[in-house]
Structure 1
Amino acid sequence: MIYTLHHMRQRMLEPLNLAAETGQMMLQPAANFFAPARFAQASLEMVGRVTRTYAKPDFGLDIEETVVDEKPFCQLLHFANRYGRTDGRKILLVAPLSGHHATLLRDTVDAFIEEDEVLITDWTCASQVPLSQGSFGLDEYTAYLMDFLRQTHELAGEQGFHTVAVCQPTVPLLAAVSLIAQQGLPHQPRSMTLMSGPIDPAAAPTEVTELAGRHSMEWFERNVIHKVPFSHPGAGRGVYPGYLQLAGFMAMNPDRHLEQHANLFYDRLRGDHASAQRLTDFYDEYLSVLDMDSAFYLETIDRVFKRRELACGNMTWHDQPVDPSYVTETATLTVEGGRDDISAPGQTVAALDLLRGLPDSKKAHHLEEGAGHYGSFAGKRFHNSILPRIRSFMDEHA
């Protein structure tokens, strides 16, 4: 019912959004030299942004992506090397399924393709997946990754490949690599980089871990799971709606978001459109969200955050035990941001203790002091410090 009301609200606001955007365009000539017109235009921009429905963004890179594989809940995209090289590293980049689209890693992909080829998981909004495709839980997610690892191996051939997971998928990627090693399959990556993810949430409590611990599973199912309205292809599917996830993100730091929108308004008044554009680019991405299948969301809360199955050695995949100690060949680098308030330092490096069969010479950890959660995979610290460390590690274990 709540999802339906939200959908109705969005449709009702469309005329207001259209009026605000039309007003902005009409005021543009006068806004160039008339201060009151700039004020009116900036005010209408605020109205337009509040009433807009943010669609899934494009990657918008100078190298166009191609679809390598398309599954009901995910498509695998390929980005060639920017300069057409085919001898660079082959990297499977696992984007998080945690409310935002894979384009959140646009800067990450853009940086990698300067030297490498990248395949990236592009998760599908669950409200767009018909019920006939079944549910999508943690086991299905892990199975997808195992198949994507196989496909990346086939692309790379004898050269071998590497894999990188950002945030949420660190747990299923470690599980997938462990299962492939347990089964003695050939498509084991040369290296695995786990970035800012909840391998052991209890290692360093955050608001996220406290929320998971504070409420029962019944509370989560009752309060955050809603049925997709009949106007969507996935009508009737239980989902954790993206708009609720976004509200949770913004509630963690509301003052910062209000300050940024005030900055946007005053940048427009001053005519500093370059600064304003940087803010609008960020929020166009940040405010674009997707829905997650209820099975995946609830299992993540229960199995990753509450019961800590992987960290405690109790994780299974379709009733088969997941044992990271079988990983003996895939060198592993963990990366954490010193100021990460979502996956705090200590949560990700815990993976190295689970890899008991991996020699210490194939394990490494990088703590980026001063980096927040997003700073671990985008921005200056990522480009200047973290990315060179990842590439160096990959080359060391190629």
Structure 2
Amino acid sequence: MGFLALGINHKTASVDVRERVAFSPEQLADALQRLRDETRTQEVAILSTCNRTEIYCAQDQLNDQSLIDWLAGFHGLSVEELRRCSYLHREAGAVRHMMRVAAGLDSMVLGEPQILGQMKDAWQAARTAGTLGPYLDRLFQSTFNTAKQVRTDTAIGENPVSVAFAAVSLARQIFSDLERSTALLIGAGETIGLVARHLFEQGVKRLIVANRTLERAELLSEPLGGQAIILNQIPEVLAHCDIVISSTASPLPILGKGAVERALKQRKHRPMFMVDIAVPRDIEPEVGSLGDVYLYTVDDLHEVIEENLRSRQGAAEAAERLIEIGTDEFMQRLRALAAVDVLRRYRQRAEQFRDQELSKALGKLERGGDPAALMSEMARALTNKLLHDPSVQLKQMSAEGRAEALALAQELFALDDTHNAQGRS
């Protein structure tokens, strides 16, 4: 069984491409089943976040071209466009990549903790859709264990800096006194939850949380003394908001240029700071052309992220060593499983030979045959059957000059001098 990881991320593709390749939660179950059936892949999972979309596969015969063709076809992209910004990892490389992703070593924010939860969501989605399978499940479990060890044994997660923190850091640069600012947060997921806490800690007195369901918005806003609204109430409060940060799973923009223009007129063109963390984007890109709006996307947070990278570089090096250990241990276990499968099949064949010869001997014994002679005959026949196929293969290897195979056979059957000496004593 082999493994393959195919994907795009914030390093290889712009937000324009990433939002076109993203899978919404509503699409995921159908996409997983179609991916498995249409590419004839045995086990598949999909990870889709604002910074990456990745396909993980376990398959006897790995075919990366069929995966690229399928992904391009599903999202209506050209194969060449997707190939230019995609990456591919096989076997141990795929294992290493998944572990690096789960540990936050491949994230825009080095060591960010949210990605491990997103990886677990991908595992659960594949499990629910029936596309996981035993080999990919083992890989996910080893990935989770290694990521947990990285967070426990290194300082990669100390003083965490997330995309949410980076967004709030940018807001602090635009508004010197955040205590006098009103913030509108669109969405009620984990990222917006982090944004809300960071803004609250920075002294923002008025927080408004807008979400598709009012209950989720209330769960987030009430502990922080904020206000909860539903999405269609955004135009009513937008003019009062100095900061707008959005992160939803909506496939279409939630905030358009027209609504922002009207809000700016009511504000008498006082500046608005906006960060669109979502992929696909929640705020129409054209909003950025308005003179009094500072609009940033997730790709614009690099400066804050780079500072985070420098501060965690030592911890990252220690984490990389743990990733290598985790990869090696998983591949060793996988090879051991392959040996178990071969042994199981060979044992089944040996037991079949045994049952055949035993049945013959018992029949002859019932007809009055000599027990000692029959036991000797059965032992000789069973030995011949067990040795027939290995003997044919060894002779063929010898004729082909495959000395390494003969040496391996000698090791496999424990035919070294020590065993020979013991056999003669």
**What TM-score comes out, normalization by structure 1 length?**
0.26
**What TM-score comes out, normalization by structure 2 length?**
0.25
Higher relative contact order (CA 8 A, sep 6+): 1
